[in-house]
Amino acid sequence: MSAARIGTWGGDTGDLAGIRAASGTGGGLRAATLRPRRSLAALVSATTASAALPMLGVLLWVTAELGTWPAIVGAAVLMLVLAGVAFLLYRRTTIWVSANGIIERGFFGTVTKVGVDDIDRVLRLDLYRANSPETTPQLFVLGHDGRRLLRMRGEFWDECDLDEVMRTLGVAITQRSTPVTLAELRKTDRRLLYWFELLGPANG
C-alpha cells in the first residue's frame, strides 16, 4: 500500500491523473493506494501451467502423425496471449481511497469515482465459501439508497486493505458478527451481489 496526494474530487478535479500525482509538499489529502493480492495471480498462473503443459504435450504427441499439430500450437499460443492480458489487467486493478471518497480502476480498466457525500455506510461481513465451513471477509461501500458502490472480496484483497477503506472514509460502519451464506444474501441483500451470484436458489 502506498499513498498519493490528491486535492478535491468534485467535477473534473478528481480525475485519475490528479490522484496519482504524488510530488510536492503542498496541501492535499493523503490517498491510500490499494492493489489486489499479487500472490493470487502467481498461484493461478502456476496452477494453470502445471495442468495445461502436460495436456499440451499429450495433444502434440497424438496429433503429430495426423498433421494437425499446428492447430494445437495456435490454440495454445492464443490461450497464452489471453492469459497474459488477464494477468496485466489484474495487476492494473487499483483502488485509491481518501477522506474525500474512492476512485476504483476495475479489472477491465473502467474508472469509477465515488465522493464521500454519496456514501451512506460501509458494511463488513464474513461470507461462507461454497460447501465449506471456511469464510472470506467481504466489504461493501453502500450509497444512501442501499446501492452497492464498491465491493472488496477477501479472495482478492488483504484484510488490511479492507481495514484501510473503513478507517479512511470516516463514514458509518456496520459489521456483522455472524457469518452468512450466499443463499442468505440472495434472500436478504440481493443488491449487494453480482449478477452471477444471483443465479443460484435463494434457499440453497
What is the C-alpha to C-alpha distance for residues 26 and 151, in angstroms, rounded to an integer?
A: 32
Q: What CATH number is attached to the domain comprising 144?
A: 2.30.29
Among 107, 142, 102, CA closest to 124: 142
Task: Report pLDDT for 160.
Answer: 94
DSSP secondary structure string for all residues of 117-185? GGEEEEEEEEEEPTTSS-EEEEEEEEETTS-EEEEEETTTS-HHHHHHHHHHH--EEEE-SS-B-HHHH
**Lookup: cell for 200:** 443460484
7 versus 70: the higher-pLDDT residue is 70
Q: How many domains does the chain have?
A: 2
pTM, to two decimals? 0.71
Measure the CA–CA gap between 20 and 68, rounded to whole angstroms: 50
Q: Which domain holds residue 142?
A: 2-36+93-198
Binned at pLDDT 50, 70 and 90, residue 189 comes out as very high
- Segment 14-24 mean pLDDT: 43
3-state secondary structure of 86: helix
pLDDT at residue number 29: 56
> Are 166 and 97 part of one and the same domain?
yes
Mean pLDDT of 185-199: 90
- pLDDT tens digits, residue range 64-102? 777 777 887 888 888 888 888 888 888 899 999 999 999
Does 21 share its domain with 83? no
